[in-house]
Amino acid sequence: MIKNKMGALAAASALALGLAACGSSSSSGSSSSTAAKTTSATISGAGSTFAAPVYEQWGSELSSSGLTVNYQPVGSGAGITSLEAKTVDFGASDPPLKAADEAAIGKNGSPAVQVPMFLGAITVSYNVPGLKAGLKLDGTTIADIFLGTIKTWNDAAIKALNPGVNLPSTPITVIHRSDSSGTTAGFTGFLSSVDPEWKSKVGEGKTVAWPTGTGEKGNAGVAGGVQQTTGAVGYVEQAYALEHHFTYASVKNASGKFVEPTLESTSAAAEGITVPANLGIKIKNPSAPSAYPITSQTFVVVNKDLCKAGIPGGEGAAKGVVRFLDYGLGEGQAILSKADYAALPSAILTKSKEAVAGLQCNGASLGGV
């Protein structure tokens, strides 16, 4: 009896020690490198959950050259607050900075710089048996569906946009996000810009008072809800919809064309938009002919002079952040398509690179791209 108990205890300790041994050998391994840049540094960031998989992917690509990226997906709002409080080296936000946040970050001793990094689309995904992908919808119809005025799939408005398609009489179940998110902001932003009724009744924002429908938490929740319910429609992030092969609609853009949410049409959405001086772009019902209209952007936010602002990682982290951004705006853009995210169009990409080139450490340029 005693032997059994001691044996159990010994086995447990052995397991823990074994794991620990593996641990110590691998953590020393991460600092060795074979690439040209061998300075090892660790940078920390926090913010957007939408961008998290991409930043982690870039981080994993850079780890072989000694750069460790630690990223917290706490949400855009909390990410900006973390940057203001100097608990991280960079912040990540989907919506552009509000004036108050810009000022708060600037208080750290150096003005805020927001760098557009990449784009993502929001699909209108549905689950109607017999209905294939590419159902044509326009902004007003989508707004009416989410307002609850259009209640069945064979409604006249949908029929008018899709002549020749056999629409069932299944009732529509609306699924929306229950948690605050940039995806909601992007979707409601689109609806507000194309449908005055939506704008006055509901408006836009990360959280809104939905007139109808069921709330589910996260993209996974909405996706699951749509898959579980016949006749359901919901708004799902593009990466999600593409990865899981959802059925999504073709949405009418400002030029009158019905466009599917492909990576190309998403990138096209940012072409020709006005870029404010602080690079705080906001894609709202874009006018490019091949643009997918429900598209949003994401930024990395830093102080212009990182060292002067007193980021926790110090000078090493400042250099590391620039390396990270250089990579992301360079080779990183090529990886995006593999991940079902859309790259920036060249005009905006150039501006982003210029912004990174302007980053400094205590006055000395950090020499971006």
Partner 1 sequence: MEATPLASSGRSIVGRPLLARLPDRILKYGLSALSALILVLIVYFFFRLIGQARPAFEKEGVLGFVFGNNWDVGAEHFGALPLLVGTLITSGVALLIGVPVAVAAAVYVTELCPLRLRGGLTVLIELLAAVPSVVYGLWGIFFLAPKLQPAEQWLADRLSFIPFVGGGLVTIPNYFVAGLVLATMILPIVSAISREVMATVPPDHKEAALALGATRWEMIRMAVLPYCRSGIVGGAMLGLGRAIGEAIAVAIVIGDAPKLGHQLFAQGYSLAAAIVNEFGEAQGVHRSALFAAGLVLFVLTLIVNAIARLLVARAARTGGGRGGVENAAAGGQVIGGAAAGA
Partner 2 sequence: MSPSSASNERLARFAVSPARKRRDLLARGGVIVGTALAVMPLLLIVYYLLRKGLGVWSVSFFTTDPTGNTFFGASSIGGIKSAILGTIEIVALASAISIPVGIGVAVWLVEYGRGSVFASAVRFFVDVLTGVPSILFGLFVYIVLIVGTGSTYAGWKGAVALSLLMLPIVIRSAEVILLLVPGALRESALALGAPRWRVIFSIVLPTALPGLVTGVLLAIARAAGETAPLLFTAAATLHTSFNLSGFMNSLPVQIYKDVTSPTTAVVNRAWGAALTLVVMILLLNLIARLIARRSRLA
Interface residue list for partner 2 (CB under 8 A): 2, 5, 8-9, 12, 16, 19-20, 22-24, 26-27, 30, 44, 46, 49, 52-53, 55-61, 63, 68-74, 78, 85-88, 218-220, 237, 239-240, 243-244, 312, 335, 338-340
Report if residue 51 touches partner 1, rule: CB under 8 A. Answer: no
Q: Cα–Cα distance between 178 and 268 in angstroms, integer? A: 30
Report if residue 106 touches partner 1, rule: CB under 8 A. Answer: no
**Which of 37, 151, 159, 217 lies at the binding interface for partner 1 (CB under 8 A)?**
217
Report if residue 87 touches partner 1, rule: CB under 8 A. Answer: no
Q: Which two tokens stand for residue 317?
A: 């982290």
Q: Cα–Cα distance between 81 and 95 in angstroms, integer? A: 14
Q: How far is the CB of 350 from partner 2 (least distance, A)?
A: 25
Q: Is 215 left (phi over 0), alpha (psi -120 to 50) or beta?
A: beta
80 binds, among partner 2, partner 1, none (CB under 5 to 8 A by kind): partner 1
180 binds, among partner 2, partner 1, none (CB under 5 to 8 A by kind): partner 1
Q: How far is the CB of 303 from partner 1 (least distance, A)?
A: 19
| Distance separating the N- and C-terminal Cα atoms of the chain | 68
Q: How far is the CB of 214 from partner 1 (least distance, A)?
A: 5
In this complex, which beta carbon is closest to partner 2, that of residue 79 or of residue 96?
A: 79
59 binds, among partner 2, partner 1, none (CB under 5 to 8 A by kind): partner 2
368 binds, among partner 2, partner 1, none (CB under 5 to 8 A by kind): none
Q: Cα–Cα distance between 182 and 184 in angstroms, integer? A: 5
| Residues of this chain, 183-202, that bind partner 1 according to CB under 8 A | 202
36 binds, among partner 1, partner 2, none (CB under 5 to 8 A by kind): none
Amino acid, single-letter form, for residue 283: I
In this complex, which beta carbon is closest to partner 2, that of residue 88 or of residue 281?
A: 88
Residue 301's nearest CA partner among 78, 121, 68 is 78
Report if residue 221 touches partner 1, rule: CB under 8 A. Answer: yes
In this complex, which beta carbon is closest to partner 2, that of residue 103 or of residue 220?
A: 220
Q: How far is the CB of 36 from partner 2 (least distance, A)?
A: 21
Spatial CB neighbours of 245, under 8 Å, sequence gap ≥ 6: none
In this complex, which beta carbon is closest to partner 2, that of residue 18 or of residue 358?
A: 18
Binding interface with partner 1 (CB under 8 A)? 49, 74-78, 80-81, 98, 100-101, 176-182, 202-210, 214-217, 221, 224-225, 228-229
